[in-house]
């Protein structure tokens, strides 16, 4: 018996041959696809480790390829589809939190008491772990099940209580550069006819400069030709700690076609706000300051 993640395990009644129980295989423990399997039963939604007996067989789901199969042209009726499966919201959040902490799947799976193949299933397919599995994943990642479900996405960060014995200290310029990283979301402060305005932008760190895309008439474009202020921060809700970095420097528009093309090629993603944003703005940092709140 051999199976892949996504196949169906069917257990039949020895007397009648009718289906007695069935479930989706969400974890395969051996590279050759042999048992045991982690099975999510359709009647209870629970995941259990199963060593199939003689009354069980595998129903291969041909229209759901293994995760990571290359994209292909849409297939005709009756042929297997090779669409790349789109992970669900929980899977994206689990994968993002794991990568942010630089943890491997094996490390998180061991902490959560589940197989690495099941964790891969959660991250890569539109899975819906039960509350027990979700809680174990949250504990393994040092967060909450509500966070992995997207709870609080519309609330401002930092609503928790202050930690005991917090300490505020200055960050060195090198520490500030480390926290700016290669890209992310920051806030640009500009002067407009309505007064001082602060707006978020997706940014890149390219050759030591901060680069972001915007539309010529959008608020961030007002930074061009000024001594701009740009801020990035992060809040650790669970530990009531965080940091912020403030950058000051002249902002200019990039007008050279080749330079614009190189910036676009090196960008990690397009602006989240969407729409046409052809204007690249560069901020050359002249002063870097930062602060960090941490606990003993």
What does pLDDT average to over the chain? 83
Contact of 197 with 187, CB cutoff 8 Å: no
CATH number for region 89-148:
1.10.260.40
pLDDT tens for each residue of 236-292:
876 788 999 999 999 999 999 999 999 999 998 889 888 899 999 999 999 999 999
Domain ranges of the chain: 89-148, 166-295
Of how many residues is the chain composed?
296
Mean pLDDT over 3-19 rounds to: 77
* Confidence band for 204, pLDDT divided at 50, 70 and 90: very high
Residues 203, 200: Cα–Cα separation, whole Å: 9
CATH number for region 166-295:
2.30.110.10
This prediction's pTM: 0.59
pLDDT tens for each residue of 42-65:
777 778 888 888 888 888 764 333
């Amino acid at each position: 018996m051999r199976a892949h993640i996504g196949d169906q395990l069917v257990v039949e009644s020895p007397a009648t041959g009718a289906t007695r129980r069935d479930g989706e295989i969400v974890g395969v423990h051996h590279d050759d696809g042999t048992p045991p399997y982690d099975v999510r039963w359709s009647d209870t939604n629970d995941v259990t480790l199963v060593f199939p007996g003689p009354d069980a067989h595998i129903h291969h789901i041909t229209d759901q390829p293994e995760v990571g199969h290359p994209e292909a042209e849409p297939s005709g009726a009756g042929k297997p589809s090779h669409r790349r499966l789109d992970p669900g919201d929980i899977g994206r959040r689990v994968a993002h939190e794991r990568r942010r902490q630089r943890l491997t799947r094996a490390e998180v799976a061991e902490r959560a008491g589940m197989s690495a193949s099941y964790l891969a299933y959660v991250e890569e397919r539109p899975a819906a772990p039960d509350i027990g599995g979700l809680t174990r994943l949250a504990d393994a990642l040092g967060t909450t099940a509500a966070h992995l479900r997207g709870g609080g996405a519309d609330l401002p960060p930092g609503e928790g209580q202050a930690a005991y014995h917090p300490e505020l200290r200055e960050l060195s310029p090198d520490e500030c550069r480390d926290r700016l990283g290669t890209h992310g979301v920051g806030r640009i402060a500009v002067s407009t006819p309505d007064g001082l305005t602060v707006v978020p932008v997706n940014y890149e760190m390219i050759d030591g400069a901060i680069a972001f895309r915007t539309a010529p008439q959008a608020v961030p474009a007002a930074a061009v030709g000024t001594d701009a202020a740009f801020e990035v921060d992060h809040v650790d809700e669970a530990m009531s700690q965080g940091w912020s970095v403030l950058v000051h420097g002249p902002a200019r528009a990039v007008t050279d076609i080749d330079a614009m093309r190189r910036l676009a090629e090196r960008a990690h993603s397009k602006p989240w706000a969407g729409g046409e944003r052809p204007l690249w703005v560069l901020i050359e940092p002249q002063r870097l300051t930062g602060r960090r709140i941490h606990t003993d």
